[in-house]
Chains A and B, each alone.
Chain A
Amino acid sequence: MHVMVTGAAGYIGERLIATMLGRGWHITVLGRAAIDPAAAPRLRLYEWRLGANVPEPAFSAEKSFQNVDAVVHLAHDWSGGTGAVDEKNVRDTCKLLNGSRAHGVRRFVFISSLSARPDALNRYGRTKAAIEDCLSGPGEVAARVGLVYGGRPRSMYATLCRITDISPVIPMIGADQAVQPMHIDDVCAGIIALVERPDLTRKIYGLGDPHPVTFGDFLRALARHRRGRRLRLIPISRRAALFLADITAGVPFLPKIDRERILGLGGIRVRDTAGEIAELGITIRPLDDGLAAETLRRRLCTEARTLLHYALGGKPRLSTVKLYVRSLERLGIRRAISLPPLATRYPSVLRLVDPHGTMLASDLDRRLGMAMRIAEASLEDPVLFQLNHRAAPTLAALRLLRTLTAEILLWPLRRILRWRCR
């Protein structure tokens, strides 16, 4: 399968490219993103921006790249302009569409939004609807994406993460507004289905949870999973929200909130996506599952840093932390252990509550054991595991004695603290 993708550098685009490469597909990227050389054999890049003509070679077969099977259009020009609808965006997209038709590409997937309506409150939604009207041919479909979350936080997901991270109390508009969130991997699965499936009966496919949640519930879930805390939302009027948006645009460290988004939030209408999702043959993970998986990695990273720091007696390298997280994920471990907060800040404290040898089996014991093996197999300094230089035997014996004494003295304390900790 050979797919041409625009907007590959964006939030969804980044994930989509990785997923498609993982399936062995060939990808022609139109845009300016830098190519990862490791992916180079099945990925090629042509300089392009929305509105320019598509370079001819982009559509043609060369070496291992067959003819383009599908175009996935994620790029959106945010440069603005005025008017009810961003006519330039519509024109430029049609240019791409015509180019695709001229080369006989059998499938054109336009990434739209659940807010797409001719009478949407935000220009973004109106523009997306206008572009959808350009799709007329049999293989030309639009994927209306809802509220996407998951993966590396970017775009609106990043903004919402930052908002819920900042404070347990935030002013918010539209807390009761129904939204249809979807994990980014499910969105990618949907886009891939739209590319792959031979027969599509519809023109518009909504990629959002058929069972909507309120925006407030979404934010509260985000806060609960990311920060483990209860979020309180203070309802404000739309005018107040727009005012706040203007302020935060000026202040450097606060998250930037686009006016357009606030307007869009107000105008969302729920779409019945159940049939469309079923036709694509994808399953949607529930919000809680999706968020738990997201934050699992974060919690595993914290666990990795803490346990490795303790095991090595110093800050672990990033590659070792990554190795720990990746290894546990590969082993199918779905739970991070809970560590005393003091330990996360001062990992050496774990020496006092290290369960090893106290004959009280525990998760911490097993994870520490794994951390030790992973650390030994990583690129950390090998002398941490086998001293490998010549030293006078007496000096070495003294060092050994010192460690032994410390451990013997600590042993009863550890036993007691461990018992109290259970």
Chain B
Amino acid sequence: MSIDRTTDVLIVGSGPAGASAAFPLVEAGFRVTMMDAGGLVPTNDPARPPLAHLRSGVPGKERYLLGDDLRMLREDDHPSPKLRAAAPIGFTKRFDDFYRPMTKDFSLVGTLDSGGLSNVWGAVVSAFDDDDLSGMPIGYAELAASYRTIARRIGVSGTDADDVGGFHGTGLPLQPPIPIGGLAQELLNRYGAWARGHGQAGRIRLGLSRNAVLSKPLGERNACTLDNMCMWGCTQGAVYQSLQDVAALSRYGNFAYMPGMLVRAVQPGGDAYVAEGNHSDGAPFRCRARLVLLAAGTIGSTRLVTGLMKWHGRRFRLLNNPAFAFAVMLPCRLGTALPEQGFAMSQLSFVASLDHSYATGSLYAADGFPASELIEQIPFSFAGGRRIIAQITSALVLGLGYFPGEFSDNHLCVEPAAEGEHIRIEGRRTAQFEPAFKALRRRLIRAFLQMGAIVLPRSTKVLPQGGDSHYAGTLPMGDLLTSDCELVGMPNIFVVDGACFARLPAKHLTFSVMANADRVGRRIAARYRTRPPGPS
């Protein structure tokens, strides 16, 4: 049974970008249809016990810790332990089957599931400032109101008042920060003492992380209960996921959410555009819309634009944040008991200036990670590794750092082929990365040492390109898109996800993507306020 539909605005993708663009349009009265390729995402069991309780041994422990589908046992090379624990088996399969990626030195992560990667993201949010946005046709002033709107809507917890508060963005409505554990607090205290004894210039700054995680209830979502099970997905709704926005949007009569609809192509069709694709059960559909907002993720939107503009074979510059991981131990915390409660996501943020930019990163308490994940990383025997991890977990902090996109030199290409297109991605880092990374590593080791913490030898690993999952820059604003993110040469087609960002600073991208999508939504609503597009 094929589906034929007509709407004012079609939004392709139910991730944070699509959701944020939808609100201003829906509120302005447009008929909005949002489609995604996924089915409904299974929700977590609200009766799931906290991690400390599970570890002490309750019946059903293995179900929660391994996953109902034994996801923790799957063999994959992806570096993210969060992806392994939180994403169901098959999370990336349909994406790989559809895009048929051929990658060289690039670890591609993508999903067609509803809500996209926001189902498993790390939820760190930072606002871009004018420096971050330099080279783009918009500045902070254009995004300020949108940042505030997004923060108010999704709930952001953190503080303005420490050494990284300004970095994350000032003047935003914030909930109190999620309480950090004793280990992180100890590190923060030592940083405070160290910072007071050192000058401002060129030093590494440490402070509380800012997360899209609720410390107070918001609407139907509960506040974080510190059950330390974040790796396995949040059962409280405290961590922002775009499907929460989609649920809120669904209360509007002029909004329709249609999951399971894979948009294969968008083509001009008379005085509107026609999106064609198929439902997950195979049935084809066509949807006519005056306006189309592409929010299918950088890879997905680039593919759709390629099809629209006949840009097959064209090489797009693909930005990512070259990332690295490391482990830090606080010897003074050896022999402390593990906390009963905990927050397993980013507790602390650090910022380190580079020659012309900066690197940033998050610090995590190791007790929120499955010990097996950590044992896996230790280059000793399993038996020895287990003993070591058991002994140091209460003193161990894990770090994940990002370099700005300027250090990446990846390219993406949508290639036609007899059996259907595929995406080709070649990953590379620039020649400047290696020395910059080595220099930063030295600084980090020295700084932590001065704080009484030891960066474990050989624990610093550079992730494969793409392992960060921050993809941007293929369809840059001010170049292939207008400053309103409208596709040059194709009026009424807008790209509102990471693809439209011409620069990728070391800050986490999602919050800014959402703010920009909100801005674009408002600009479209204003443009058509006097003459709404109407049905065709």
Q: Determine the distance from Cα of A309 to Cα of B459 in the docked complex, in whole angstroms.
A: 28
Asked whether, in the complex, the Cβ of B73 is within 8 Å of the Cβ of A387, the reply is no
* A310 interfacial by beta-carbon distance below 8 Å: yes
- Chain A residues with Cβ below 8 Å from B40 are none
With A388-B337, A388-B338, A392-B335 known as contacts, the answer to whether A351 contacts B384 (CB < 8 A) is yes
> For residues 34 through 87 of chain B, which have their beta carbon under 8 Å from a beta carbon of chain A?
55-57, 61-62, 65-66, 70, 72-75
Q: Determine the distance from Cα of A369 to Cα of B372 in the docked complex, in whole angstroms.
A: 7
Q: Determine the distance from Cα of A336 to Cα of B367 in the docked complex, in whole angstroms.
A: 33
Asked whether, in the complex, the Cβ of B382 is within 8 Å of the Cβ of A390, the reply is no
With A327-B66, A357-B379, A396-B335 known as contacts, the answer to whether A373 contacts B388 (CB < 8 A) is no
User: How distant is B310 from chain A, measured CB to nearest CB, in Å?
Assistant: 43
- Chain B residues with Cβ below 8 Å from A370 are 73
> For residues 362 through 409 of chain A, which have their beta carbon under 8 Å from a beta carbon of chain B?
366, 368-370, 372-374, 376-379, 382-393, 395-397, 399-400, 403-404, 406-407
User: How distant is B460 from chain A, measured CB to nearest CB, in Å?
Assistant: 16
With A377-B62, A414-B381 known as contacts, the answer to whether A403 contacts B70 (CB < 8 A) is no
As a 0/1 sequence over residues 313 to 339 of chain A, the CB contacts with chain B under 8 angstroms (1 = contact) are 100000000010001001100000000
User: How distant is B366 from chain A, measured CB to nearest CB, in Å?
Assistant: 9
Of B23-31, B343-351, B390-398, B505-513, the segment with at least 4 beta carbons within 8 Å of chain A is: B390-398
Q: Determine the distance from Cα of A330 to Cα of B72 in the docked complex, in whole angstroms.
A: 13
Asked whether, in the complex, the Cβ of A327 is within 8 Å of the Cβ of B70, the reply is yes
Q: Determine the distance from Cα of A403 to Cα of B378 in the docked complex, in whole angstroms.
A: 13
Tell me which of B65, B338, B378, B381 contacts A386 (CB under 8 A): B338
Of B193-201, B326-334, B400-408, B493-501, the segment with at least 4 beta carbons within 8 Å of chain A is: B326-334
Asked whether, in the complex, the Cβ of B389 is within 8 Å of the Cβ of A385, the reply is yes
* B5 interfacial by beta-carbon distance below 8 Å: no
- Chain B residues with Cβ below 8 Å from A383 are 390
* B353 interfacial by beta-carbon distance below 8 Å: no
Q: Determine the distance from Cα of A414 to Cα of B393 in the docked complex, in whole angstroms.
A: 25
User: How distant is A277 from chain B, measured CB to nearest CB, in Å?
Assistant: 35
Tell me which of A368, A374, A376, A404 contacts B371 (CB under 8 A): A376
Tell me which of A311, A327, A399, A400 contacts B383 (CB under 8 A): A311
Tell me which of A331, A356, A391 contacts B382 (CB under 8 A): A356
Closest to B367 in A: A386
Asked whether, in the complex, the Cβ of B371 is within 8 Å of the Cβ of A385, the reply is yes
User: How distant is B58 from chain A, measured CB to nearest CB, in Å?
Assistant: 9
Asked whether, in the complex, the Cβ of B331 is within 8 Å of the Cβ of A397, the reply is yes
Tell me which of A323, A378, A385, A410 contacts B381 (CB under 8 A): A410
- For A323, A348, A399, the residue with the greatest tally of chain B CB atoms inside 10 Å of its CB is A399
Asked whether, in the complex, the Cβ of B379 is within 8 Å of the Cβ of A382, the reply is no
* A217 interfacial by beta-carbon distance below 8 Å: no
Q: Determine the distance from Cα of A414 to Cα of B383 in the docked complex, in whole angstroms.
A: 13
Tell me which of B74, B338, B376, B388 contacts A404 (CB under 8 A): B388
* A25 interfacial by beta-carbon distance below 8 Å: no
- Chain B residues with Cβ below 8 Å from A369 are 372, 376, 382
Tell me which of B372, B382, B389 contacts A354 (CB under 8 A): B382
* A157 interfacial by beta-carbon distance below 8 Å: no
With A376-B370, A385-B371 known as contacts, the answer to whether A400 contacts B334 (CB < 8 A) is yes
* A411 interfacial by beta-carbon distance below 8 Å: yes
User: How distant is B116 from chain A, measured CB to nearest CB, in Å?
Assistant: 27
- Chain B residues with Cβ below 8 Å from A391 are 334-335
- For A376, A391, A393, the residue with the greatest tally of chain B CB atoms inside 10 Å of its CB is A376
Q: Determine the distance from Cα of A304 to Cα of B338 in the docked complex, in whole angstroms.
A: 29
Q: Determine the distance from Cα of A388 to Cα of B382 in the docked complex, in whole angstroms.
A: 20
Closest to A392 in B: B335
Q: Determine the distance from Cα of A104 to Cα of B370 in the docked complex, in whole angstroms.
A: 60
With A377-B61, A388-B337 known as contacts, the answer to whether A372 contacts B375 (CB < 8 A) is yes
Tell me which of A323, A382, A385, A396 contacts B334 (CB under 8 A): A396
* B385 interfacial by beta-carbon distance below 8 Å: yes
User: How distant is B199 from chain A, measured CB to nearest CB, in Å?
Assistant: 31
Q: Determine the distance from Cα of A411 to Cα of B380 in the docked complex, in whole angstroms.
A: 7
User: How distant is B248 from chain A, measured CB to nearest CB, in Å?
Assistant: 36
Asked whether, in the complex, the Cβ of B73 is within 8 Å of the Cβ of A327, the reply is yes
Asked whether, in the complex, the Cβ of B382 is within 8 Å of the Cβ of A396, the reply is no
Closest to B371 in A: A385
User: How distant is B354 from chain A, measured CB to nearest CB, in Å?
Assistant: 31
Asked whether, in the complex, the Cβ of B380 is within 8 Å of the Cβ of A384, the reply is no
User: How distant is A186 from chain B, measured CB to nearest CB, in Å?
Assistant: 28
Asked whether, in the complex, the Cβ of A378 is within 8 Å of the Cβ of B73, the reply is no
User: How distant is A102 from chain B, measured CB to nearest CB, in Å?
Assistant: 47
Asked whether, in the complex, the Cβ of B61 is within 8 Å of the Cβ of A379, the reply is yes
- Chain B residues with Cβ below 8 Å from A377 are 61-62, 65-66, 72
- Chain A residues with Cβ below 8 Å from B391 are 387, 396, 399-400, 403
* B387 interfacial by beta-carbon distance below 8 Å: yes
Tell me which of A372, A386, A388, A410 contacts B384 (CB under 8 A): A410
- Chain B residues with Cβ below 8 Å from A376 are 65, 370-372
- For A368, A369, A382, A386, the residue with the greatest tally of chain B CB atoms inside 10 Å of its CB is A386
Q: Determine the distance from Cα of A411 to Cα of B458 in the docked complex, in whole angstroms.
A: 15
- Chain B residues with Cβ below 8 Å from A331 are 70, 73-74
With A390-B335, A393-B334 known as contacts, the answer to whether A382 contacts B57 (CB < 8 A) is yes
- Chain B residues with Cβ below 8 Å from A373 are 66, 72-73, 370, 372
- Chain A residues with Cβ below 8 Å from B383 are 310-311, 313, 348, 350-351, 354
Asked whether, in the complex, the Cβ of B380 is within 8 Å of the Cβ of A356, the reply is yes
* B336 interfacial by beta-carbon distance below 8 Å: yes
Q: Determine the distance from Cα of A404 to Cα of B387 in the docked complex, in whole angstroms.
A: 9
User: How distant is A338 from chain B, measured CB to nearest CB, in Å?
Assistant: 18
- Chain B residues with Cβ below 8 Å from A404 are 388
Asked whether, in the complex, the Cβ of A379 is within 8 Å of the Cβ of B335, the reply is no
Q: Determine the distance from Cα of A281 to Cα of B51 in the docked complex, in whole angstroms.
A: 49
Asked whether, in the complex, the Cβ of B335 is within 8 Å of the Cβ of A311, the reply is no
Asked whether, in the complex, the Cβ of B390 is within 8 Å of the Cβ of A384, the reply is yes
Q: Determine the distance from Cα of A411 to Cα of B73 in the docked complex, in whole angstroms.
A: 26
- Chain A residues with Cβ below 8 Å from B94 are none
Tell me which of A348, A354, A395 contacts B335 (CB under 8 A): A395
- For B56, B66, B334, B385, the residue with the greatest tally of chain A CB atoms inside 10 Å of its CB is B334
With A357-B379, A357-B380, A386-B393 known as contacts, the answer to whether A372 contacts B61 (CB < 8 A) is no
* B221 interfacial by beta-carbon distance below 8 Å: no
User: How distant is B475 from chain A, measured CB to nearest CB, in Å?
Assistant: 39
Q: Determine the distance from Cα of A382 to Cα of B383 in the docked complex, in whole angstroms.
A: 15
* B312 interfacial by beta-carbon distance below 8 Å: no
A contacts, CB < 8 Å to B: 310-313, 323, 327, 330-331, 348, 350-351, 354, 356-357, 366, 368-370, 372-374, 376-379, 382-393, 395-397, 399-400, 403-404, 406-407, 410-411, 414
Across the A-B interface, the 10 shortest Cβ-Cβ residue pairs: A357-B379, A396-B335, A377-B65, A391-B335, A354-B381, A396-B334, A407-B384, A385-B371, A407-B380, A377-B62
Known: A354-B381, A369-B372. 15 other contacts (CB 8 A): A311-B386, A323-B62, A351-B381, A366-B75, A372-B376, A373-B372, A376-B65, A382-B55, A382-B57, A386-B393, A387-B391, A390-B337, A393-B332, A400-B334, A407-B385
A-B contact pairs, 24 of them (CB 8 A): A313-B383, A327-B73, A354-B381, A356-B385, A357-B381, A372-B375, A372-B376, A374-B73, A376-B370, A378-B61, A378-B62, A379-B57, A384-B386, A385-B386, A386-B55, A386-B367, A386-B394, A387-B390, A388-B337, A392-B335, A393-B334, A400-B392, A406-B384, A407-B388
